[in-house]
């Protein structure tokens, strides 16, 4: 899409650009994969003797197993914003998103708003990068739910991240000094946490959801994530500055919602560049290349910078400027 003209886009164009609603349509997940969440066919087994003179069957009987598979795969994705701030302050929680009930994307301070039962249901944690505001709740979560998960026979929580991120967790968090090594406790054979590496471009199948690992451009190895839903993908960029590789991939997939950061106001553009973050001056040109029909949400604004960031975005896009995320908000890809 072309960049906004010098006077800014028209009110209608801005509204269509950021807030147009995609028509709902069927979206089917890919092939079933082995695992506890795999749905298997219930077709009759081969080798059984045929019934003598079977009566005619209803025409949809053979289709029923496939119909059940389609309904299971097409259930709406629910994404709950636990935290979306670039730092802490009263009412500000750092990055964490809960996908349905069992997959956590990043583990900032917002995880602490979940009840103990909700925490114990989390089976997978996808981590964008190693910075503390995105990982600090992993250690506390492992300790909090250990007894409940053991009693329920739920097994280890799997932490998915780049190899460099997992190594940082081993070295700097689960080292017996900062925190006990829950990758070996309560026993090396059945630990509270298992660390599972992924690579950029890999597609994960977790708890019945398909999640693609996207490139990010930050000061440490980092990624974003695309969660597939019926009407397109929910994309979280992670912490990133200008990133051509990300936009190339987003042009190739169907994006419904884009959660992208703008950590600083333009008066701190130099700091944003040094720290691998966006400010409005770098974000606006990248958003101008998005196709219409995508809802954009701003995340990771530093406490105290909210007014400046939103004012600078509104200067370019008026009342159709991207909306900031709010902790407690729920998004549904139905």
The C-alpha atoms of residue 279 and residue 310 are separated, in whole angstroms, by 10
DSSP assignment of 278-325: --HHHHHHHHTTSPTT-EEEEE-BPTT-HHHHHHHHHHHHGGGSPEEP
CB atoms within 10 A of CB 252: 7
pLDDT in the model for residue 151 = 95
Q: What pTM, to 2 d.p., does this model score?
A: 0.79
Share of the chain above pLDDT 90, in %: 72
Sequence-ordered list of residues with C-beta below 8 angstroms from that of 116, at least 6 positions apart, any chain = 144, 145, 148
pLDDT in the model for residue 75 = 67
Indicate the range of 23-32, 80-89, 115-124, 156-165 predicted with least confidence.
23-32
* Per-residue exposure over 16-45, b if at least 16 CB sit within 10 Å of its own CB, e if not: ebbbeebeeeebebeebeeeeeeeeeeeee
The C-alpha atoms of residue 48 and residue 285 are separated, in whole angstroms, by 65
Domain 77-333, what fold? Metallo-beta-lactamase; Chain A (3.60.15)
124 pLDDT tier (thresholds 50, 70, 90): very high
Cβ(182)–Cβ(174) under 8 Å? yes
- Dihedral of the CA atoms 38, 41, 47, 48 (nearest 10)? 120
290 pLDDT tier (thresholds 50, 70, 90): confident
Comparing 42 with 199, the larger pLDDT belongs to 199
- Whether the bond between 10 and the residue before it is cis, its omega within 30 degrees of 0, is no
Give the pLDDT mean for 62-77. Answer: 45
Share of the chain above pLDDT 70, in %: 78
Closest CA to 307 of 266, 271, 277: 266
Residues 132-142 have pLDDT tens digits of: 999 999 999 99
Strands, DSSP E only, in the chain? 77-83, 96-99, 103-105, 124-126, 157-161, 193-197, 203-206, 209-215, 223-229, 232-236, 255-261, 295-299, 323-324, 330-333
């Amino acid at each position: 899409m072309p960049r906004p003209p010098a006077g800014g886009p028209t009110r209608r164009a801005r509204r269509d650009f950021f807030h147009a609603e995609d028509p709902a349509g069927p979206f089917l997940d890919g092939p079933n994969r082995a695992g506890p969440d795999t749905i298997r066919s219930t077709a009759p087994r081969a080798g059984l003797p045929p019934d003598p003179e079977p009566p005619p069957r209803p025409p949809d009987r053979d289709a029923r197993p496939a119909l059940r598979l389609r309904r299971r795969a097409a259930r709406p994705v629910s994404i709950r914003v636990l935290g979306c701030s670039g730092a802490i302050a009263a009412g500000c929680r750092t990055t964490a998103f809960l996908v349905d009930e069992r997959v956590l994307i990043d583990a900032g301070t917002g995880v602490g708003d979940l009840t103990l039962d909700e925490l114990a249901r989390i089976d997978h944690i996808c981590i964008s990068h190693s910075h503390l505001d995105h990982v600090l709740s992993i250690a506390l979560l492992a300790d909090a739910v250990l007894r409940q998960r053991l009693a329920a026979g739920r097994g280890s929580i799997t932490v998915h991240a780049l190899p460099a991120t997992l190594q940082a967790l081993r070295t700097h968090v689960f080292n017996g000094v900062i925190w006990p090594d829950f990758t070996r406790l309560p026993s090396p054979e059945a630990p509270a946490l298992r660390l599972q590496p992924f690579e950029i471009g890999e597609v994960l199948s977790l708890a019945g959801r398909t999640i693609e690992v996207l490139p990010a451009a930050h000061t440490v190895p980092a990624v974003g994530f695309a969660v597939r839903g019926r009407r397109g993908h929910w994309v979280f960029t992670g912490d990133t500055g200008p990133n051509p590789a990300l936009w190339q991939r987003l042009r190739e997939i169907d994006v419904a919602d884009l959660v992208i950061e703008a950590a600083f106001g333009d008066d701190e553009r130099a700091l944003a560049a040094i720290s691998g973050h966006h400010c409005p001056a770098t974000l606006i040109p990248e958003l101008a290349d998005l196709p219409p029909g995508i809802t954009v949400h701003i995340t990771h604004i530093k406490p105290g910078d909210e007014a400046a960031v939103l004012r600078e975005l509104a200067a370019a896009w008026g009342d159709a400027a991207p909306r900031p995320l709010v902790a407690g908000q729920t998004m549904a890809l139905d």
